[in-house]
Amino acid sequence: MVYVRKSVWANGGGFSDPILFWYAKGVEALQKKPMSDKTGWRFMAAVHGIDKALWQQYGYYTPGEAMPPQSEQDLFWNQCQHQTWYFIPWHRGYVWSIEGLVREEIIKQGGPADWAMPYWNYSDSQNPQARMLPPAFASKTLPDNSPNPLYVAQRYGLGTVPIVLPAKDVTLEALLQPRFTGTGAGALSGFGGLKTGFSHSGQVSGRLENHPHNIVHVDVGGEAPNGDPGLMSDPDTAGLDPIFWLHHANIDRLWSVWTRNPNHQNPTDPAWLNGPMDRKFVVPTVDGTNYFYTPADMLDSTAAPLNYIYDEEQSSADTVMMVAAKAAPQAGGEGKAMADGKKAELVGANASTIKLVGAGAKTSVKLDQALGNQMAQGFKAMRGFATSTTPPADGAPKPADQVLLNLENIRADKDAAVVDVYVNLPAGENPEDRLDLLAGTIGFFGVRKASLPDQPHGGMGISEVFDITRIVECLEASGALSTDNLNIDLIPRKAVSEDAGITVERISIYRQEQ
């Protein structure tokens, strides 16, 4: 059987939808299982990540309770892949695992045998409710007035206001990325991320992971009035929230959307297809056995053992065949699936570490004037060619460089912040009125963990890369571009407390040939 994953809003988003009603009943059954049961809710959440102190604080762990053997903890727990090219395929296997566990409990209760995990398409511009947390997750009770297992207090607003995601946080620029794998070293991070080994806490997110993935996590999790982050704001608690799985089903769906573009290819590098050598991916199955998998196993969702499709893919009878054909690894060469080999060149950087507190921070990035002039000349040449009525004798000019803004080694003692980054924002202007100068947004999801000194990268934090070519090109065209510096504003959505400990070690500008 090929299961069909449907939109959470297909039938109103509430418990009148049997998919959501039965999801609640399945989650409830898994939540009753002990921590030591690897087919239970808490064990599965710990596969993504676990911080026992946070779990105890929120009432999900009691010191002294029965735990799985240390060998199982070492094999399964703290396994999620972030800031890596494994981010997307690892999470596909993870969502498939919980989907099967929930379905098994639903069937035991007499529910539908074809139940599949719904997805939250918060980017659906045709649905005015798309960005709102679906009602089934906002109600404290089920229709029979019993506690609702889909309701979580540790979401922003603590249940006092509807959760509605900001429109700019769910845009899909990531789908425009032509290559899955980024080039690294100050350059674009690609649709899927940079080439790494096993990466439970890495440094640079791929575009899909950065936006909308990270930002939606923080928008839903947020932080309580006392400053504690909500479950969805931290990778070590996120899997405990039932909305987590619908969010990741949507991220998985967006991977399917990206691959349906004939110009897009998944990596063919054996290092990606075969997964990391230092630690294998593994999830439990419904009978409690261990399923080890690689990204190659995750390429075709319609094939065993995955066996699912998204409702939007049913619109054409040949969709399954098309997806399967595109998923097959191509022999020989890496094609557009891999980086094009062009390295990025440093153009300039700011002078010192930035501490982000209160309403924000600003800095000036000093540019190498010769390289700054070269970038500006490239934009002028392209603009002149586009507006010329007489083609030049030597043909079209060389494409202008891409201009890349890097925020390097971002560290924090807490997750949950959302920070908008602007280029050359005029003094006194409302940032919301100048979205043309918005370079991008950082959702602080996983920054705390990446800042800890005992992590694989030694507490280097995370880095973000934004393509600001369009902004710089428009500044040059309007005469507002200085070729020796750019001003950068970091503006948090909510005032940042001192104890958040947010710093940015360096802000730099790179250029990359197109």
Three-class secondary structure assignment of 424-456 = CCCCCCCHHHCHHHEEEEEECCCHHHHCCCCCC
Domain limits, CATH 2.60.120, in the chain: 344-512
Phi, psi of 482 (to 5 degrees): -95, 130
Residue 454, pLDDT score: 81
Q: What is the CATH number that goes with domain 3-337?
A: 1.10.1280.10
Helix, strand, or coil here: 412? coil
Global pTM reads 0.91
Residue 395, pLDDT score: 56
Beta strand 308-310 with 344-349 is unpaired
Residue 314, pLDDT score: 67
Residue 391, pLDDT score: 57
Residues of the chain with pLDDT under 50: 316-339, 385-386
Q: What is the CATH number that goes with domain 344-512?
A: 2.60.120
Closest CA to 82 of 264, 251, 230: 251
Domain limits, CATH 1.10.1280.10, in the chain: 3-337
Residue 398, pLDDT score: 60
Residues 6+ apart with CB under 8 A from 88: 192, 193, 206, 208, 209, 251, 252, 255
Residue 322, pLDDT score: 36
Residue 334, pLDDT score: 38
Tokens of 94: 């993870």
Residue 195, pLDDT score: 95
201-216, pLDDT tens digit by residue?
888 999 999 999 999 9
